[in-house]
Amino acid sequence: MLGLKSKKDTSPQKTITEISELKVTVISSVVSIIVGLLFGLVFLFIIEVIKETPDMTNPFYGFSNLMVEGFSSIRSIIKVLYKAAPLLMVGLAVGFAFKAGLFNIGATGQYTVGAFFALIAAILWQFPWWAALIVAMIAGGLWGLVPGIFKAVFNINEVITTIMLNWTALFFVNLLFYNNPGIYESRERTMNLAVANPSAILPDLGVSDSYFNIGIFIAILFAVVIFIVLERTTFGFEIKACGNNKNASVYAGIKAKRTIVYTMLISGALAGVGGGIQYLSGTVPYTVTSTTLLPMGFNGIPVALLAFSNPLGIIITSLFISYLQVGGEAMQPVYSPEMVNIITSVIIYFSAFALIVSQLIKKYMKKRLGGDEATEETDVVLDVASEEVNKISTPKTPEEGGEK
Amino acid sequence: MKKFFGVLLLALVAVFAFVSCTGKTYEIALVTDVGNIDDKSFNEGAWNGVKEYAEANDVSYAYYRPSEDSTAARVETIENAIDKGAKIVVCPGYLFETAIYQVQASYPEVAFLLLDGEPHTDDYATYETTSNTHNILYQEEQAGFLAGYAAVQDGYRALGFVGGMAVPAVVRYGYGFVQGAEFAADELGLSAGDVTIKYYYADAFVGSDALETKMDGWYAAGTEVVFACGGKLYTSVVAAAENTDDGKVIGVDVDQVAESDRIITSAMKGLTVSVVDALTAFYDNDMAWPTELAGTTSTLGADTDGIGLPTATASWRFETFTVTAYEEIFADLVDGTVEVSNKIGWTTDEVTAWLAANPGSDEEDMPGYVPETTLVTVDYTA
Amino acid sequence: MGDYIIEMNHIRKEFPGVVANDDITLQLKKGEIHALLGENGAGKSTLMSVLFGLYRPEKGEIRKDGEVVNIQNPNDANDLGIGMVHQHFKLVEVFTVLENIILGAEPTKYGFLTTKETREKVLELSKKFNLMVDVDAKIEDISVGMQQRVEILKMLYRENEILIFDEPTAVLTPQEIDELMKIMKNLIKEGKSILFISHKLNEIMEVSDRVTVLRKGKYIGTVDVDKTSIDQLSEMMVGRKIDSIKKNPAKKTDEVILEVNNLIVPSKLHKNNAVNNVSFQTRAGEILCVAGIEGNGQSELVYGITGLEKISSGSIILNGKDITKMSIRDRNLTGMSHIPEDRHKYGLVLDFNLGQNLALKKYFQEGFQHNGFIDFGKIKEHSEILIDLYDIRSGKRSATIARSMSGGNQQKAIIAREIDCGAKLLVAVQPTRGLDVGAIENIHKTLIKQRDQGKAVLLVSLELDEVMDISDRILVMYNGKIVAELDPKKTTPQEIGLYMVGAKVQDRFKTVGGEA
Chain A residues near residue B76 by CB distance under 8 angstroms: 75, 79, 211, 329
Q: Do A41 and A151 sit in the same domain of this protein? A: no
- Distant-in-sequence, close-in-space partners of C189: CB < 8 Å, separation ≥ 6: none
> Please, what is the end-to-end C-alpha distance for chain B in angstroms?
73
Residue C189 belongs to domain with CATH number: 3.40.50.300
Do A371 and A274 reside in the same domain of the chain? no
Query: What is the tens place of the pLDDT at every residue in C48-59?
Result: 888 888 888 888
Residue B85 covered by a domain: yes
Is C393 in contact with A7 (Cβ distance < 8 A)?
A: yes
Mean pLDDT of C171-188: 84
| Same-domain pairing of C166 and C262 | no
- Residue B7 has a pLDDT of 59
Confidence of residue B8 (pLDDT cuts 50, 70, 90): low
Based on the fold, state whether residues B129 and B201 are members of the same structural domain.
no
- Contact between B19 and A61 using a beta-carbon 8 Å cutoff: yes
What is residue A382's predicted lDDT score, i.e. its pLDDT? 39
| For testing contact with chain B, the best of A180, A187, A338 (most B CBs within 10 A) | A187
A235 lies in some domain:
yes
Coil, strand or helix at C318: strand
Chunked in runs of 10, what are the mean pLDDT values of chain A (404 residues)?
A: 39 43 76 81 83 78 81 85 93 93 91 93 91 95 94 90 92 83 74 84 81 91 94 92 90 91 95 93 78 81 86 91 85 78 77 70 62 39 40 37 34
Of the residues C349, C371, C394, the best mutation for testing chain A's interface (the one with the most A CB atoms within 10 Å of its CB) is C349
Q: How many CB atoms lie within 10 A of CB B74?
A: 28
Distances in Å between the Cα of C326 and the Cα atoms of A234, A255, C317, C335 are 22, 12, 11, 12
Task: Give this complex's ipTM.
Answer: 0.74
Mean pLDDT, chain C, integer: 85
Residue C125 CA to residue C134 CA, distance in Å, equals: 12
The pLDDT score that the predictor gives to residue B3 is: 56
B258 pLDDT higher than 80: yes
Asked if the structure places residue A272 within a domain, the reply is: yes
Residue B206 lies in a domain: yes
Whether A311 and A334 map to the same domain: the answer is no
The pLDDT assigned to B14 comes to 56
Check residues A25 and B6 and name the one with the higher pLDDT.
Answer: A25
The parent domain of residue C17 ranges over 4-238
User: Taking CB atoms and an 8 Å limit, are C406 and A251 in contact across chains?
Assistant: no
Q: In this structure, are B325 and B263 located in the same domain? A: yes
Asked, for residue B368, whether it belongs to a domain, the answer is yes
Secondary structure (3-state) at B262 = coil
The whole domain housing A63 covers 18-70+330-383
Higher pLDDT, B48 or A335: B48
B111 and B164 together in one domain: no
Total number of residues shown for chain A: 404
- In this structure, the answer to whether residues C73 and C110 fall within a common structural domain is yes
In a domain, A35, yes or no: yes
Q: Is A13 on the interface with C (CB under 8 A)?
A: no
Name which residue leads in pLDDT, C406 or A84: A84
pLDDT of residue B356: 87
Distance from CA of C113 to the nearest CA of A (A): 17
Please report the pLDDT score of residue A240 as a whole number. 92
Q: What are phi and psi of A70, to 5 degrees?
A: -55, -30
Instruction: Note whether residue C403 is domain-resident.
Output: no
φ and ψ at residue B379, rounded to 5 degrees: -100, 100
One domain for residues A111 and A54: no
- For C116-152, write each residue's pLDDT tens digit: 788 888 888 888 887 888 888 888 888 777 888 888 8
pLDDT of residue B175: 93
Angstrom CA distances, A211 to A83, A225, C196, stand at: 9, 25, 74
Q: Which residue of A has its CA nearest to B2?
A: A27
A186 closest CB neighbour out of B65, B81, B167: B167
The answer as to whether A393 is a domain residue is no
Chain B: closest CA distance from residue A225 (Å): 30
Lowest average pLDDT, out of A61-65, B65-69, B351-355, C240-244, goes to: C240-244
Please say whether the beta carbons of C313 and C262 come within 8 A.
Answer: yes
Give how many domains chain C has, as a whole number.
2
Q: Are residues A138 and A157 in the same domain?
A: yes
| In-domain check, residue A307 | yes
Confidence check: pLDDT of C492 > 80: yes
> Is residue C152 located within the same domain as residue C273?
no
Give every CB contact of residue A155 below 8 A, 6+ residues apart in sequence.
none
Q: How would DSSP label each residue in B121-139? A: -TTS--B---TTEEEEEE-
My answer on whether C183 and C53 are in the same domain is yes
Chains B and A touch (3+ CB pairs under 8 A): yes
Note whether C218 and C311 are same-domain residues: no
Does C46 reach chain A within 8 Å, measured CB to CB?
yes
C147 and C271: one domain? Answer: no
- B210 alpha-carbon distance from chain centroid: 24
Do residue C36 and residue C158 come from a single domain?
yes
Length of chain C: 516
CB contacts < 8 Å between A and B, how many? 103
Residue C457 lies in a domain: yes
DSSP assignment, residue C214?
E
Same domain, A199 and A290: yes
- A150 plus A240 within the same structural domain: yes
Whether residues C173 and C215 fall in one domain? yes
Asked whether residue B220 is assigned to any structural domain, the reply reads yes
Is the distance from CB of B289 to CB of B113 less than 8 angstroms? no
Domain finish residue from C184, C204, C238: C238
Residues B134 and B117 reside in one and the same domain: yes
pLDDT at A145: 94
Give pLDDT, residue A356.
72
DSSP conformation letters of B159-192 = EEEEESSS-HHHHHHHHHHHHHHHHHHHHHTPPT
Contact in structure between C184 and C194 (CB atoms under 8 Å): yes
What's the pLDDT at B4? 57
Alpha helices in C211-317 (DSSP H): 230-238, 298-306
Question: Do B70 and B124 belong together in one domain?
Answer: yes
Which H/E stretch holds residue A270? helix A256-279
| Domain that includes residue B372, residue range | 141-268+307-379
For residues C279 and B168, what is the distance between their CA atoms, to the nearest angstrom? 85
Condensed to tens digits (0 to 9), the pLDDT of residues C435-466 reads 777 778 888 888 998 898 889 999 998 888 88
Residues 6+ positions from B328 with CB-CB distance below 8 Å? none
Per-position DSSP letters for C100-139, written without gaps between them: HHHTTS--EETTEE-HHHHHHHHHHHHHHTT----TTSBG
Which chains sit next to A, with 3 or more Cβ pairs under 8 A? B, C
Compute the distance between CA of residue A173 and CA of residue A239 in angstroms, rounded to an integer.
31
A312 and A347 belong to one structural domain:
no
Do C192 and C263 fall within a single domain? Answer: no
C368 found inside a domain: no
| DSSP letter for each residue of B197-239 | EEEEE-SSSS--HHHHHHHHHHHHTT--EEEEESGGGHHHHHH
Q: What share of chain A is helix, strand, coil (3-state, %, to 5)?
A: 75, 0, 25
Residue B166: inside a domain, yes or no? Answer: yes
Q: What is the CATH number of the domain that holds B50?
A: 3.40.50.2300
Residues of B in contact with A334 (CB under 8 A): 24
Question: In this complex, is the C-beta atom of C378 within 8 Å of any C-beta atom belonging to chain A?
Answer: no
The DSSP letter of residue B95 is G
Flag whether A118 is in a domain: yes
pLDDT score of B73 more than 90: no
Same domain membership, residue A336 and residue A318: no
Same domain, A354 and A268: no
For residues B190 and B375, the answer to whether their CB atoms sit within 8 Å is: yes
* Cα A244 from Cα A256, distance rounded (Å): 12
| Residue at B7 is within a domain | no
pLDDT given at position C148: 85
Nearest to B150 by CA among B318, B18, B353, B3: B318
Nearest to B179 by CA among B324, B320, B338: B338
Same domain for B181 and B324, yes or no, is yes
In a domain, C336, yes or no: yes
Domain shared by C22 and C69, yes or no: yes
* Residue with the larger pLDDT of the pair A23 and B293: B293
Same domain, C86 and C173: yes
Give a yes or no: residue A76 inside a domain: no
Query: Is residue C416 predicted with pLDDT exceeding 80?
Result: yes
Query: In chain B, how many domains are there?
Result: 2
User: By the 8 A CB rule, do A2 and A379 touch?
Assistant: yes
Please state, in angstroms and as integers, the Cα–Cα distance from residue C437 to each residue in A356, A377, B111, C457, following that order: 37, 21, 88, 21
What's the DSSP call for residue B258?
G
Decide if pLDDT at C411 tops 70: yes
Contact by Cβ (8 Å): B236, B211: yes
C143-169 pLDDT tens trace: 777 888 888 888 888 888 899 988 888
Are A104 and A222 in a shared domain? yes
Strand partners, C402: none
Write out residues 18-57 of A within 8 Å (CB-CB) of C.
21
SS3 for C59-103 is: EEEEEECCEEECCCCHHHHHHCCEEEECCCCCCCCCCEHHHHHHC
Number of domains chain A is built from: 2
Q: Based on the domain organization, do C198 and C310 belong to the same domain?
A: no
Q: Which of C13, C18, C46, C405 to mutate to test the interface with A (most CBs of A within 10 A)?
A: C18
Share of chain B above pLDDT 90, in %: 28
Contact B69 A336 (CB under 8 A): no
